[in-house]
Structures are given as structure tokens and as C-alpha cells.
Amino acid sequence: MNPPLQLVLTSADWLNLFGHYLLLSLMSVGGAISTTAEMHRFLVEQHGWLTQAQFNESIAIAQAAPGPNVLFVALMGWNVGMNAGSTAAACLGVLITMVGIMLPSTTLTYMAAQWGYRNRDLRAVRAFKQGMAPIVVALLVSTGLILGGANHRLATDWPIWTLSVVAGLIIWRTRIHLLWLLAAGAVLGWYQIV
Amino acid sequence: MPDPSTAPASVLPDAQPRPDSLRDLFFSFTWLALQGFGGVLAVIQREMVERKRWLTQEQFLEDWAVAQIMPGPNVVNLSLMVGGRYFGLKGALAALAGMLAAPLVIVLILGVLYTHYGHYPQLAGALRGMAAVSAGMIAATGIKLAAALVKHPLPLWLTLAMAALGVLMVAVLRWPLPWILLGLGGFGVWTTYRKLPR
């Protein structure tokens, strides 16, 4: 199957891609997903290295797949490489985008965490970690609400909302294994019940 | 593994369960990541706090604050921090590799499959159903962690009011996150700082 785009990427282009992801990594407070608007501008609008459909599918597949959502970056790198014509280029794309998006943020986080751990008795460090706790709770609840509220029409979307709420209640009140609930969600979706 | 219900009250914090090797870290985070359909957020609290008990509810909230405020994916940052705490840089890398290696292979395989089978409505439906369950799981994780606010230095009514205000700002008003972290987060840190003993 031919890729939807046929690109010729020079080593300067690959370097440009790498540099851009290094930069995005530093901006990715709240996760790589918060920089998707900028990725879209760079990959789809400015350079035309990905089609709109490839961009959307990369995010949707990584969201559904097991593992951290940041792996949508790997799929974008893969698709850029496939557009450049080969599986080898696709592997290079994965390597470049993933190392780019991970290296700066993990280095910074590791150093900050080690510093914080060594100085964990400092009043300021304790105040920071404990003072943020209510916001952490708020962010988790909000993420669930935003993801669950992505479907907007009450008349047709109430079954899927019900599924989200019931799943949330079960997780909150029981210790059932999460995979059972996910499997139930998949079955209900497969038969178009939600 | 020590049973907390029978442990003496004077038990030291290092009696808490911990990863026993780099291999344990790697496979624990691989298993954790592989359960995380629709994101690892809902799974990481369940595994770290409720099953493995490497972190208490309070420690999880504190570490999560750092993981959240630093750039990079939260769950990846948290795995780095947990690994780094027990085995230094090697531990951080083992946890990071566990979190990313197997899921990376799976997501690429799914990407290739999707280009062939993506047009089946059943498949799209199954993905939609799993995403809905995952949204509920994440919200429930937040509600569960709110129980740890009881032990917070600030009064419960204030921390709960701040959490509710945060949900309003993030989920309803959709304000940019950096401002919320600076504003509401700054307020939380400042009031906590004044309340803590020197």
C-alpha cells in the first residue's frame, strides 16, 4: 500500500524534526498531549510531513492502546518515516521523535526529583508538595470529565456517559481489576450498545 | 512482605514494601503500562498505592505534584521518580524502559493494523467504549485520592474547596493550565507553608 504522502527527507530535515521535539519536550507541562496544537502546526501545516488523517489517527490509536499516551509521538514519527518511503525511515522517525520528546523532560524531572528528595525536610519543599495536593485531585477529576465529556449530544450520547459514570463508581467503591471493566467497555462498544 | 495490620506502631518507614531489584522495577512498570488502555493514569495509583504499596496515598499525591509540574508525561515522570528513589539513575532508567518498551512495540503494531482494518465500525466502537471506561477510571482515581486530604495540614473544608475550584477552572472554564498551577497552586503552597512547623 502506498503512503498518502511521498516525501524526500534530507538529514537537515531529520535534524529539524529532532530539534523541534527537544523544544516541545521542554514545553510539555501537563504531558506531551498539551503540545499537540504546536505539533500539528509544525508537522501538518508548516512542513506537510503528515496528513490531517494520519495526525488524528496517531493520537486516537495511542489513546486506545495500552501504555502512556505519549506514544502517539512515536506513531507520528513512524508515519513521517513511512511517508518518506521505507520501514527503515519509519524506525528512524520513531527514534528521533521519541528521544526528542523524552530526553529534556526526563533529565529535568530526574534532577528536580533527586534534589527534592535530598531536601525533603525543607519547609519549602514540604509546603510545595503538600500544598499542590488539592490541585492534583482537581486535575485528575477534570481529566476524567474532559475525556468523558468529549461526546456532546445528550440525546444520543447518554449511554456512553452512563458507562463512564458506572465505571467510575465501580473503581471508586471496589477493588475489581481494571482490565475487566475495560473489556466490558470494549464489548459494549463493539456491539454498538454505547 | 510485612503486614501493616500486625506491624508495631513504631515501625520505620523503610518497612514499607519496595522494589527488590532493577528487574522488579522494569517488569512492574511494564505490567502496569500494559494495563493502561486509554492512558496509565488510572492504573498507576491502583498499582503503586493499593497493590504494590510502594507509595502511600499521601506520598503518591506529593510525588504526583512534582510529576505534574515538571515537563513531560506525568506517568513517565512518576515512574522515573519511583525508580530513582530506590536505585538512583539506574532505577529511573529501568522504570522508564519498563514503561515505554513493550507499549511502544504494541502501539506500532496497532498503527500498522489500523491502516488495514481501521474502517470496521465494531473496532471504532470498541475503542470508544474503552475510552469511556478509562475516563470514568481517571475521575474515580481523583475522588479516591481526595480521601488523603483528611491528613493535610490545611483544614478539610479549604482543601476540598480548592479542589472544587480547580475542577471548575480546568474542566468547565478551560483556563490554561500554567495560570491555574501558578494561581491556585501558588495559593495552596503559600497557605500550607504558613501552616507547617519550621
- Letter for the amino acid at B198? R
Is the CB of B134 less than 8 angstroms away from the CB of A182?
A: yes
Q: What is the ipTM of this complex?
A: 0.82
A114 in Cβ contact with B84 (< 8 Å): yes
C-alpha cell at A51: 496528513
B142 in Cβ contact with A140 (< 8 Å): yes
Can you list the alpha helix ranges (DSSP code H) found in chain A?
Answer: 11-27, 36-40, 52-64, 72-83, 87-118, 123-131, 133-148, 154-173, 178-190
Nearest Cα neighbor of A134 from B130, B103, B147, B83 is B147
Tens place of pLDDT per residue across chain B (198 aa): 444 444 444 444 557 899 999 999 999 999 999 988 767 887 898 899 989 999 998 899 989 888 988 889 999 999 999 999 999 999 999 999 999 999 999 999 999 988 888 778 888 788 788 878 888 888 888 898 898 899 899 999 999 999 999 999 988 888 877 788 889 999 999 999 999 987
Q: Which residues make beta-bridge pairs with A66?
A: B37
- Phi/psi of residue A66, nearest 5 degrees: -70, 150
pTM of the full predicted structure? 0.81
Instruction: Tally C-beta pairs within 8 A across A and B.
Output: 370
Q: Check if B96 contacts A (Cβ < 8 Å).
A: yes
B110 in Cβ contact with A108 (< 8 Å): no
Residue A17: which residues within 8 A CB-CB, separation 6 or more? A49, A77, A80, A93, A96, A97, A100
Residues in chain B with CB shorter than 8 Å from the CB of A194 are 125, 128-129, 132
Angle at B131 between CA A150 and CA B82, to 5 degrees: 110
A133 in Cβ contact with B61 (< 8 Å): yes
| Chain B residue whose CA is closest to A54 | B115
B92 in Cβ contact with B77 (< 8 Å): no
Residue found by looking up cell 528521544 in the block: A99
B149 in Cβ contact with B192 (< 8 Å): no
Of A66, A129, A171, the CB nearest to B33: A66
Pairwise CA distance, residues A104 & A82, whole Å? 26
C-alpha cell at A90: 519509519
Chain B window 163-182: which residues touch A at a Cβ cutoff of 8 Å?
A: 163-167, 169-171, 177-178, 180-181
Q: How many CB atoms lie within 10 A of CB B66?
A: 22
Pairwise CA distance, residues B41 & B72, whole Å? 14
Q: Check if A127 contacts B (Cβ < 8 Å).
A: yes
- Phi/psi of residue B88, nearest 5 degrees: 65, -150
Of A67, A128, A143, the CB nearest to B40: A67
Of B71, B115, B141, the CB nearest to A105: B71
Provide the 8-state DSSP code for B15. G
Is the CB of A129 less than 8 angstroms away from the CB of B107?
A: no
Is the CB of B129 less than 8 angstroms away from the CB of A179?
A: no
Q: How many Å is the Cα radius of gyration of chain B? A: 19
Tens place of pLDDT per residue across chain A (194 aa): 456 788 889 999 999 999 999 999 988 876 777 788 788 889 998 999 999 888 888 887 887 788 998 999 999 999 999 999 899 999 999 999 999 999 999 999 999 999 988 998 999 999 988 898 898 889 888 888 877 876 667 778 888 889 999 999 998 888 887 788 888 998 998 998 88
C-alpha cell at A4: 498518502
Among A24, A27, A38, A142, which would you mutate to test the B interface (most chain B Cβ atoms within 10 Å of its Cβ)? A142
Q: How many Å is the Cα radius of gyration of chain A? A: 20
Residue A141: which residues within 8 A CB-CB, separation 6 or more? B139, B142, B143, B163, B167, B171
